[in-house]
Amino acid sequence: MAPHRLACMYKLRDRINQLDSIPTTYRNLLEHRLVIACSEFKRQDRGEEVRSTREIRTRHAEKRAHKLYLDVLDEDPQIFIPFLLIVNTNTACVKYNLELFRQHHEQRAKIRLGDADKVILEDIARRHRIRGSIAFQKLIQALFPAIPRTAMAVESPTTTADGPKPWRFNGAPLEVVRSQFAVGVFEAICKAPARCGNDQFSIRTTTGLVRMDFPSVDKEDCILWLDIGDVDLFEKVLFPAGCRIQESGYNSSDGPCSLQRACCAAAALIFGSQLYEAIDTSRLRTWERDTAGLADTTDCIMIEVHATHEPRYGTLRLRLEFLRGLRIAQRLFAIPNASDIQANNDDNGIAAAHFHFPRIR
């Protein structure tokens, strides 16, 4: 094996470690070769037309590359990505000497990738249906090992705002909603089925499509609920390869489900600095970052998808830091005192005369 190829691999690995990410210039190449590495090469069915010599040669090279990539994955998963990006499928794989690679590959260092890279890899796997392949699972487990049990000994912080009887704000004026949220978020709220189906709505009316639940214990996280249309758009941007929890009884990917593990970078762009700051400073997000090691994804942002047909719609669930959430609530609902707060109970709410918020400055 030419020494310069190993040198190129090590150089690329060092660059990835400096960036804590795969350079964007390699994304298309990564997708093409990862699919070759993790796909099953079954015998092709006979077609009506004879395959061209070029097609036959390309498939032969890809089969050789597939075997070589898997051998390298078995040999050292940490060098797999640089190897994949440096070694060409059409030429080098046909005459590549794996034994020489084993003899000369001595710099066995760990490659450092962020959560965003995991999202990218899983998105490629989902789109090309290789997520269930043994090779892909092995790669993910090697590059993104599970969090040790000792790190997860401290459970994620809970909030009574998520319980059966939160303190609830409801009925925000649409004009205020428009001024408080980013344009894309407000437009998605306006496309929610309840709003689209009522011709009497105007910008001066109030809406139950925006709600906030507060905890019965001071300083726990609060929750902002937004009913939206255009779920597909939010799903593609916020959850490119997020965790999908399907409701029982549904097998279709369009059925009711919850989407988790939102991309933080996308969330900052979609929700704007003020709302994202409330998300980023929540107790749950702090725990995810400091204890669970989730630097780039979060469960503070979830979507409950309700529709089983097009157009799909759902509810955004945002977990916010208490004081920042309270400031948002005061602007949205113009609550002058505690007597306007409602506790959500079996009778659809009781007055909360004894609940005292801290002074807001």
| The token pair that represents 354 in the structure block | 């004894």
Distances (CA, A) of 71 to 39, 59, 67: 14, 18, 6
pLDDT tens per residue, range 111-165? 999 888 888 898 898 888 888 888 998 898 889 876 554 444 567 888 999 888 8
Angle subtended at Cα 142 by Cα 137 and Cα 145, rounded to the nearest 5 degrees: 100
pLDDT average, residue stretch 329-355: 52
Structure-token match 């704000």, residue found = 169
Q: Which helix (H) or strand (E) holds 205?
A: none
The pLDDT value recorded for residue 325 is: 95
- Residue 223 makes CB contacts below 8 A (sequence gap 6+) with 159, 161, 162, 166, 212, 213, 317, 318, 319, 320
Q: Is 268 left (phi over 0), alpha (psi -120 to 50) or beta?
A: alpha
Picking from 128, 149, 112, the residue whose alpha carbon sits closest to that of residue 15 is 112
pLDDT tens per residue, range 64-103? 899 999 999 999 999 999 999 999 887 666 677 788 888 8
> Does the CA dihedral 235-238-240-243 come out positive or negative?
negative
Distances (CA, A) of 328 to 9, 87, 331: 50, 53, 5
Measured distance CA(108)–CA(15) in Å, rounded: 15
The pLDDT value recorded for residue 48 is: 64
Sorted by where each begins, the domain ranges of the chain are 3-143, 160-351
| The token pair that represents 338 in the structure block | 């505690």
Torsion of CA 321, 324, 327, 331, to 10 degrees: -90
Measured distance CA(71)–CA(338) in Å, rounded: 66
| The token pair that represents 257 in the structure block | 């489900």
Q: Is 219 left (phi over 0), alpha (psi -120 to 50) or beta?
A: left
Compare 118 and 42 and report the one with higher pLDDT. Answer: 118
pLDDT class for 18, splitting at 50, 70, 90?
Answer: very high
Picking from 197, 185, 198, the residue whose alpha carbon sits closest to that of residue 234 is 185
pTM for the complete prediction? 0.55
